[in-house]
């Protein structure tokens, strides 16, 4: 049996996601049918619907804004840790040089 090829990762605008979520919320079609109609994965559409519910306060979890802030803070934290590591190495280097 052949391996199933992976689909290239695609990016979607927030407007497109909102339209897909609205189609799912109307109830005319199932999430699976909406996903199939727009050549999307069912998992992605389900995640978009769940995130929209969180953002609307209908479900517990991190809102989109909170997720963005968390990602930004994690990036900043990683950068600061790298800076501290570089400074530690520089301090050790210059401490050896001055002896």
Q: Where are the alpha helices (DSSP H) in the chain?
A: 14-26, 31-37, 42-55, 64-97
- The Cα 19–Cα 38 span in angstroms is 11
Q: Tell if the pTM clears 0.85, that is, is over it.
A: no
What are the tens digits of pLDDT across the range 55-75? Answer: 999 999 999 999 999 999 999
DSSP letter assigned to residue 41: -
Residue 71, token pair as written in the block: 């990602």
Return the domain boundaries, the chain.
11-61, 63-99
- The token pair at 77 is 């934290």
The mean of the pLDDT values for the chain is 93
């Amino acid at each position: 049996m052949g391996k199933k090829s992976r689909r290239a990762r695609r990016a979607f605008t927030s407007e497109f996601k909102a339209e897909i979520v609205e189609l799912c919320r109307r109830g005319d079609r199932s999430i699976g049918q909406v996903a199939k109609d727009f050549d999307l994965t069912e998992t992605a559409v389900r995640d978009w619907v769940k995130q929209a519910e969180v953002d609307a306060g209908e479900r517990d979890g991190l809102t989109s804004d909170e997720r963005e802030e968390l990602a930004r803070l994690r990036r900043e934290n990683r950068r600061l840790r790298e800076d501290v590591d570089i400074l530690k190495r520089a301090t050790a280097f210059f401490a050896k040089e001055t002896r």
